[in-house]
Structure 1
Amino acid sequence: MRELTIGDQQVRVRATPLALLFYRQEFKADLFGDLVKMQHLANDPSQIDSVAILQLIWAMAKADAYGKQFPSFMEWVGSLDSIDFSDQSFLMTVLEEAADGFFRSKSKQAFQQRSK
């Protein structure tokens, strides 16, 4: 679990299997597959897909809040005042949480190597 600051909000994110399910249900796509496509962000931030990052954060935040009411993606994004995508530490925190939760041992190391 990690905490992110988005605008003036603290958002807790947790990369769990529930995040995979929530992502699929909301976006009709595979989180793991989309995450693999994001591996290059550390090397080339110009390729950022800001909506994909927000979708990843939303799914992990919803997983962290399991058992509690959580807004739809559109409502959640609408509640954000601002977000600083130029903050490399912010993006790396998101990707590190995903790597820690969805990749284990050697595959995690390989993912982290490719994203550096």
Structure 2
Amino acid sequence: MEKTITIDDKQVKFESKGSTPLRYKKQFNSDFFTDLMKMQELAKIQKKKTQPTYEEIKSLDMEVFYNICWVLAKTADPNIPEPLEWLDKFDVFPLVNILTELQELITASLQDSKKK
């Protein structure tokens, strides 16, 4: 599954494939699915529709969210550079908005594709 979104006036393609979790593990030495579960905390905070508290923000490892964005972009385009170099190409990177746009793609990584 793939999706293209606009970030800082640039069209960026993202994709999730069977290789995505292994690419993530190889790059970040962390389990893709375990890190995806950390997004549940962000979702809980977003549902409150109030400003997050310092403690809530402190409990999140924001790096994981940047890593997930990068690996989905890297899966779509193997020529993108390492994460910091890639992020440096953007003047703004509205992470929460981007994650919202990528939610369907991320969810597809977790679902069973067999028809019942």
Q: Smaller-chain TM-score range?
A: 0.7 to 0.9
- Report the secondary structure of 1:43's partner residue: helix
The alignment of Structure 1 onto Structure 2 pairs a total of residues equal to 102
- Give the gaps of 5 or more residues in structure 1: 106-116
1:56 is matched with which residue: 49, 63, 68? 68
Change (3 A) 1:5 1:38: same
Deviation at 1:95, TM superposition (A): 2.4
2:111 pairs with 1:103:
yes
2:94 pairs with 1:93:
no
TM-score by length of 1: 0.73
Change (3 A) 1:62 1:86: closer
The letter of the residue matching 1:74 is L
2:19 pairs with 1:18:
yes
TM-score by length of 2: 0.73
- Give the gaps of 5 or more residues in structure 2: 47-51
- Report the secondary structure of 2:93's partner residue: coil
Change (3 A) 1:50 1:5: farther
Deviation at 1:33, TM superposition (A): 0.5
* Matched-pair contact (CA < 8 Å) for 1:15–1:63: yes
Q: Pairwise CA RMSD of aligned residues?
A: 2.2
Q: For 1:95 and 1:49, how far apart are their aligned partners in 2?
A: 18
- Report the secondary structure of 1:4's partner residue: strand
The list of structure 1 runs, each at least 4 consecutive aligned residues, that deviate by more than 3 angstroms after superposition, is 45-50
Q: Deviations over 1:53-111 (max 9, x none)?
A: 21101101111124xx2211121111121022353xx3222222111133226xxxxxx
* Matched-pair contact (CA < 8 Å) for 2:66–2:95: no
The letter of the residue matching 1:71 is P
Q: For 1:24 and 1:55, how far apart are their aligned partners in 2?
A: 11
Q: Deviations over 1:17-76 (max 9, x none)?
A: 22212211111101110001212322213445432221101101111124xx22111211
* Matched-pair contact (CA < 8 Å) for 2:20–2:72: yes
